[in-house]
Amino acid sequence: MARTRSISPSRGAMVLVLALLAWAPAARGGSDYSDKDFSVRFASAFIRFTEVSAGGGGSSASRWSSAINPASAGWLNLPSKLGWVVAPYYSHICFDAGTQIRVTGESVTWDTRKWGTFQPTMAQIRSNRDTNRQGLLFDYSVDTFQLIWAKRFGKWGAGANFNYAQAEVVHKMGPFRVSETHAESYRFRFGGLYEPAEKWLVGLTAEYGFAPYRATVFPMGPFGPAVRMRGTQQQYIVRPGVSYEYAKYSTAFIDYQYGSFFGKQGSLDHSHFSTGVNHRLLDWLFLRAGASLDARGNHGWNCGAGVYLSEWCGFDIGYLQHTLPELRPEFGRARILQFTFNLRF
């Protein structure tokens, strides 16, 4: 009788991730979401503007801070004497049509050892005021603040995140304003982590957010009557994920995310899969690769590296491509370059 070879969990996880990485670029271009209103499409993309994937935190089941799951901030003990980390970051989003969005953030992490980990973060988002595919000048600015609390309880981890943002969006035709929107958003995110077996980690993230807005539209130009609107955008997001540590500090993951965004102007249900590998090549060097695929066939990919030359400092760089398909009708495909730097005390 022929002998059957069993597949180890680490090899199985790697095969799954590599298969999805190979599949995503081969997928068809997919729908560009042009059948949905800009307001709900932009809300879906906004949640990814300030997510930092350069630090290996692109999964709901991540072991590292700056991840999508707030519980990840308290999963590992900080390798520093006082438990403090200062981590500024920068993200540059470039669209084919010429619009650029710059995200500058400042984050501080404090591991209290007893009461959990606290992580306040501020971010400033600004556009370059370029013309989009519809011939309208796009002017976008946001100031946001968030606070994360996380704590580990043996094989379990819990975390919560509150995010507040003030946003302004202005569209112009030449020197004249076509529309102007002001909004405040409030987002509440909760996350959990569970280690069912050695090297395996399961994560779940859930979020609810709402954004009251005030919009002014000039349908007949600057000298015509203005139309003023008020309303509230709402959103729900659920993201489960699983990761496997196939070698020390090297992991593979796969996530699924479902989001529902709705308001007076319409609704959008958005779901996608993401997968990736975070591989420790040397004691001080990490390499990363990942891919995403949504329900409409749009695919994206990312890569990055982390360099940690000492216990008290390190930096990461990440590159993402085609990860914002919701904004393709106005701006084209997106390319994102991210930098993070951290100091540990």
CATH code for the domain of 26: 2.40.160.40
Q: Checking phi first, is residue 35 left (phi over 0); if not, alpha (psi -120 to 50) or beta?
A: alpha
Contacts (Cβ under 8 Å, ≥6 apart) of 26: none
**Number of other residues whose CB lies within 10 A of the CB of residue 240:** 17
pLDDT tens, the chain, 345 aa long: 334 344 454 454 454 455 454 454 444 456 779 999 999 999 999 988 877 665 556 899 999 887 899 999 999 987 777 889 999 999 999 999 999 999 999 999 999 989 999 999 999 999 998 999 989 999 999 999 999 999 999 999 999 999 999 999 999 988 888 999 999 999 999 999 999 999 999 999 999 999 999 999 987 766 778 899 999 999 999 999 999 999 999 999 999 999 999 999 899 999 999 999 999 999 999 999 999 999 999 999 999 999 988 888 899 999 999 999 999 999 999 999 999 998 988
Domain extent, residue 91, equals 16-340
Answer yes or no: is 6 within a domain. no
8 Å CB contact between 161 and 195? no
pLDDT of res. 102: 97
Judge whether 291 lies within some domain.
yes
Rounded Cα–Cα distance for residues 56 and 301 (Å): 14
Residue 2 lies in a domain: no
In a domain, 31, yes or no: yes
pLDDT at residue 335 in the model: 95
345 within domain boundaries: no
Token pair 């990461």: residue:
316
**Rounded Cα–Cα distance for residues 226 and 216 (Å):** 6
What does the CA dihedral 41, 47, 49, 55 come to, rounded to 10 degrees?
-140
Instruction: Name beta bridge partners: 232.
Output: 212
Note whether residue 114 is domain-resident. yes
In this prediction, residue 30 carries a pLDDT of 63
pLDDT of residue 38: 92
Per-residue confidence (pLDDT) for residue 174, from 0 to 100: 84
pLDDT of residue 2: 39
pLDDT at site 11: 54
Residue 8 covered by a domain: no
Domain-located, residue 200: yes
CA distance 254 to 223: 53
- Number of structural domains in the chain: 1
Structure confidence at residue 52 (pLDDT) = 67
Helical spans, DSSP H, in 27-114: 38-46
Buried b (16+ CB within 10 A) or exposed e, 186-225: ebebbbbbebeeeeebbbbbbbebebebebeebeeeeeee
What predicted TM-score, i.e. pTM, was given to this entire model? 0.89
Which among 145, 157, 172, 144 is positioned nearest to 117, based on CA atoms?
157
